[in-house]
């Protein structure tokens, strides 16, 4: 498996553990204020990163490029900043809104870079 695919799966499983912990905390406390953060940790972190990793595993040639490496760091940094900032924003810290906004754009930039990786991949 290409290194970048392995890195994506390792990062993804860490986000799934964090997302489930937030879900369990909400369930135990009967306080669902952080549901938006829980959903984004699981979907941007676990699901999307696992899909990125699976794509790289299926396309080892594209996975070895500099773009793939830069994309991993841009996207991961975005999700790593955005999800805890969103958690604290939703649980009563409105001052974090600009950080959520900027990191969301970083996440989006990472997604556009992944779109470029997909479009550059040749059949076969």
Binding residues vs ligand HEM (CB under 6 A):
19-20, 23-24, 26-27, 32, 35, 38-39, 42-43, 46-47
Which residue has its beta carbon closest to ligand HEM? 23
- Alpha carbon distance 77, 82 (integer Å): 8
**Contact by Cβ (8 Å): 26, 34:** yes
Tokens of 67: 């773009």
* Residue 2 or 45 with smaller CB distance to ligand HEM: 45
Specify the DSSP class assigned to residue 124. -
Instruction: Tell me the closest approach of the beta carbon of residue 17 to ligand HEM, in angstroms.
Output: 10
* Residue 54 or 69 with smaller CB distance to ligand HEM: 54
């Amino acid at each position: 498996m290409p290194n970048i695919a392995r890195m994506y799966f390792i990062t993804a499983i860490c986000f799934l553990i964090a997302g489930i912990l937030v879900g369990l905390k909400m369930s135990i406390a009967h306080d669902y204020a952080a549901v938006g953060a829980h959903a984004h940790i699981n979907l941007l972190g676990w699901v999307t990163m696992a899909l990125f990793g699976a794509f790289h595993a299926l396309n080892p040639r594209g996975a070895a490029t500099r773009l793939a490496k830069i994309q991993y760091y841009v996207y991961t940094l975005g999700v790593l900043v955005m999800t805890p900032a969103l958690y604290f924003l939703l649980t009563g810290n409105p001052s974090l809104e600009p950080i959520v906004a900027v990191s969301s754009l970083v996440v989006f930039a990472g997604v556009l870079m992944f779109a470029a990786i997909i479009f550059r991949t040749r059949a076969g």
